[in-house]
Amino acid sequence: MPAEFTPLPRRHGRIAYRSASTHALWGIEDFSITRQADGGRTLMVECQMRHGAEDVTRFTTLAVDADLQPVEAHVRILNHGRPTGSGWFRFTESEAEGEAATEAEGRLSQRKPIARPMRGFGIHALIGDGWLAASFPFDKGPGHTHFWGPSLLHSLHHFGATGPMLVTSTSGLRYEARETVAVPAGRFDCHRLSFQGMTNNHPPYTMWISADDEKLYVKGLVAGYMDGLFQLETLDGNAA
């Protein structure tokens, strides 16, 4: 008789996108994270948002290893309900490759050299932003700023509405403090970090991520025209 089936450990939750000044809801992000036997994780996330003239939906899968370093990804983008691009990405120890088809650029095949550890692969989904800090040297304490050199992401658009393709940013992260943060999903022990040196005219961005090995995105604030307050609304499942 076959052994009883036991599902892999799996987290699932939602992040709400709101106006920081009015608390009006302008987007949601539903995600699941499945943990493999070797410690690697697979993130599946759907993001829907309407902000000003932007109406963007993204479906993304990102696989990482036990150190939360990217292994492969797939991104599909809709603008105003219409598909505008889809791409697949793979990361070896020394190279990133991408195969994509976009409305603006057509068919793309890309190869870019990388050095490990990477900052990560920017997928614009907020739950993935926490993993960008996976290799941050937190032992250096608050006040430390770390740059990884050119970092890869799928779009330089602030809402991730273009591409997808391999593009680079030179931004880094500054460790501000360790804090306990309360959000609708509960109270979390967090690292507070701010993005530094962003090259695409992005408004100031601060995020709080869980201080454990999950590096879960708990809260974010984006100033300027975006006026964004991002909070973990729900979180269920088992991470072990």
Domain residue spans of the chain: 10-235
What are the tens digits of pLDDT across the range 52-111? 999 999 999 999 999 999 999 999 999 999 999 999 999 999 999 999 999 999 999 999
How does DSSP classify residue 147?
-
CB of 161 within 8 A of CB of 181? no
8 A C-beta contact, residue 169 and residue 187: no
Backbone angles phi, psi at 172, to 5 degrees: -125, -170
Q: What is the pTM of this model?
A: 0.95
Residue 201 neighbours by CB under 8 Å, 6+ apart: none
Residue 197: predicted pLDDT: 87
In degrees, rounded to 5, the angle at the alpha carbon of residue 148 between the alpha carbons of residues 207 and 116 is 115
Give the 3-state secondary structure of residue 175.
strand
Task: Provide the pLDDT for residue 235.
Answer: 98
Nearest partner of 65 among 53, 73, 57, 55, judged by Cα: 73
Largest Cα–Cα distance in the chain? Answer: 61
Q: Report helix, strand or coil for 119.
A: coil
DSSP string, 19-59: ETTT--EEEEEEEEEEE-TTS-EEEEEEEEEEETTEEEEEE
- Residues with Cβ within 8 Å of residue 62, at least 6 apart in sequence: 42, 43, 45, 70, 72, 73, 121, 123, 125, 128, 131
Residue 198: predicted pLDDT:
82
Chunked into runs of 10 residues, the chain (240 residues) has average pLDDT values of 88 98 98 96 98 98 97 99 98 97 97 92 97 95 94 95 95 96 99 90 95 97 96 92
φ/ψ of residue 225, rounded to 5 = -60, -25
pLDDT of residue 58: 99
Name the 3-class secondary structure at 132.
Answer: helix
pLDDT at 239: 79
Q: How far apart are CA 238 and CA 240, in angstroms?
A: 6
Query: Beta-carbon neighbour count of residue 199 at 10 Å?
Result: 12
